[in-house]
Structure 1
């Protein structure tokens, strides 16, 4: 549970960044930005809810009157946020623009277009995306956030530890995925975000879901799973298994290259290095082994209140890592029509190196029968 002091720190930092950028206010819509700034969790609908963080002045949560009880119960008033409710006959955009203290505002990049249009019509705001501002706030995790991510990683690791029960020859991918989904909830997650079970040639598609394909003896199977914990923080972990028999020697050799690439990238993580250098560390190992063209995605993505968020670990991202930045390290090799493999852990950059939150075995495991 995020502390009151932590929310207050985030709001103060947001106001500081607004002043530095010459913007008068930040308008955060429902989603990860709103949850990060004040802990209030509500769905995006045609009735606008918005947190107005002002460069000068106290923050205000604007909510429909019919949702006022939920806002009151969220605890936002405990961190110095006033609540303003708007009635059905009111123009909520006029209510919001009256609070801005200026026309230059930054808005959540997930805000619906209809709400942005409504704000502009009500007050002729000059809006830009708050994505960069929010990234500055959210990329470096606090100690509290790191512990939330650690708990999420432990929960998803416990699901991988049970896969031998379900991953068997003769079962369909979708049946295995259903068992995994139940286990993700049983492990303590509030929601299941994704379950990828890619057997045989389906493993060569990085974002394969789960199909009716029946798992065959000796199939490599990519299992990429994740969910959201009750406190909002996400898990994401990938392991590759072989089911019901020894893999082809060529697959075992390929997997050994992948394991060394994932280790090389993980070992290169520390505060002060660039995001692209982590990608490069993995890619060099895979390219030298002759699989460079089969590594078709970035090495990683940030994680927190969303399973994909900055920083992105990819060539061209010169961002210098800071202590507390959390992201995946997940190189993969994909041979179209044959099989694929991926290993993924969530790591946190530290001043002296890396805190690897994933503990599930990375060696190639033969399971099931």
Structure 2
């Protein structure tokens, strides 16, 4: 399987205005196509990531993830209506994907108190009016991230309710033309943020202070937020998933991180690196850990190809040594777009209990993961690369060097 990239051509890492307009229309069409496949009249999207994918609308992403205060009505055919937070209607009015912007009905106790039942009924009636006007007699509708009361109100009006996550995940997993330019733009900005952060890595700096430099750069480059707090040092690198803390980083510590940045254009820049703090040489044990993690990522990258099943990929994947299996990362690989997305491919040891089968397809972007930490303790190493699958090969999207003091010789 041929490997190309990373692509550093500026024209391929920054979409033009016209390309952005077409990307937005193409993404919307992918959503509509998935609705049609399932004979859904429409979907109602509350998840701000889904809203941005389908319409290009961007407003209070984190706030909207926990408050049902804005949403979008996407019919399989017909006009798209964005229901925007009060006072924010102007934010979506110029989008080429949106036919109408209305004020949202915030269907939560926080906003409505004792009026919630009435407001939810009014919300359902407005959705019903749109379906009847634009979708005929079809009463199959998909929703996600709404309150249970919203679904119940639609059921009272005779609707069959389905989960909108499935068609949205399927739409998002294949990238439209020039979508890669947005992904590369997000990666290049995040890579610059990690370079800034690495330049600040000196003995005595706390994990939190070090991590803050990435956050600052994400905002400065028009990104949205960092989804997790995955930076740890020294003994806190094993096991993985110990969130960033006040611990001062010491000379000789390994410092492991996973970017998890929702960056430029709303796209996920997701790669992992492990650094060595200070000027001294790495220990033999640190180099051994790094060698294993590097081998895992490189081997499993080479196994990716269009048409390969998830189960076949799991069987072909790099064998984790026994003493490192207990602390293995939860996934071999996962899809990536505006966030982590379909598919999710687990290890051969886990596939019967936790996994599902499917096929890697051309047009998918995939993150290949590794975490190596001994089951008896000590430090650990986290590495990860972001990949695009072509018809006849793969392209490395992430572009950040490995620490030469830790690299296998």
TM-score interval w.r.t. the shorter chain?
0.7 to 0.9
Q: Deviations over 1:309-343 (max 9, x none)?
A: 11213243322111121121111112354111111
Map of 2:93 onto structure 1: 73
Residues 264 and 281, structure 1, Cα contact 8 Å, conserved in 2 = no
Pick from 376, 379, 389 the counterpart of residue 339 of structure 1: 379
1:248 CA drift (Å): 2.8
Map of 1:319 onto structure 2: 358
1:96 matches 2:117: no
Q: Which has the higher mean CA deviation after the structures are superposed, 140-149 or 275-284?
A: 275-284
Residues 155 and 184, structure 1, Cα contact 8 Å, conserved in 2 = yes
1:206 CA drift (Å): 2.2
Q: How does 1:101-112 map to 2 (within 5 A)?
A: 101=135, 102-108=138-144, 110-112=145-147
Distance 1:47 1:186 in 2: 28
Residues 191 and 400, structure 2, Cα contact 8 Å, conserved in 1 = yes
State the secondary structure of the residue aligned to 1:58. Answer: coil
Pick from 305, 318, 322 the counterpart of residue 338 of structure 2: 305
Residues 69 and 85, structure 2, Cα contact 8 Å, conserved in 1 = no
Q: Which has the higher mean CA deviation after the structures are superposed, 337-346 or 165-174?
A: 165-174
RMSD: 2.9
Q: How does 1:133-172 map to 2 (within 5 A)?
A: 133-172=167-206
Residues 259 and 271, structure 2, Cα contact 8 Å, conserved in 1 = yes
Map of 1:132 onto structure 2: 166
Q: Deviations over 1:101-134 (max 9, x none)?
A: 43211113x233343334334x232101112211
Distance 1:184 1:79 in 2: 27
Residues 27 and 176, structure 2, Cα contact 8 Å, conserved in 1 = no
State the secondary structure of the residue aligned to 2:344. Answer: strand
Map of 1:26 onto structure 2: 43
Change (3 A) 1:17 1:203: same
Q: How does 1:202-351 map to 2 (within 5 A)?
A: 202-244=236-278, 245-284=280-319, 286-287=320-321, 290-306=323-339, 308-314=340-346, 315=351, 316-335=355-374, 337-351=377-391
Q: Deviations over 1:56-107 (max 9, x none)?
A: x4033152694573365342xx346344557899712201012224321111
Map of 1:50 onto structure 2: 71
Distance 2:39 2:296 in 1: 43
Q: Which has the higher mean CA deviation after the structures are superposed, 271-280 or 202-211?
A: 271-280
State the secondary structure of the residue aligned to 1:344. Answer: strand
1:170 CA drift (Å): 2.2
Q: Which has the higher mean CA deviation after the structures are superposed, 123-132 or 226-235?
A: 226-235
Change (3 A) 1:35 1:247: same
Change (3 A) 1:293 1:281: farther
Map of 2:5 onto structure 1: none
Distance 1:304 1:53 in 2: 20
State the secondary structure of the residue aligned to 2:50. Answer: helix
Q: Looking at both structures, which has the greater relative contact order when contacts are Cα pairs under 8 Å and sequence separation is at least 6?
A: 2
Distance 2:209 2:29 in 1: 48
Distance 2:324 2:98 in 1: 54
Map of 2:114 onto structure 1: none
Q: For structure 2, which runs of at least 5 residues remain unmatched after alignment?
A: 1-16, 107-117
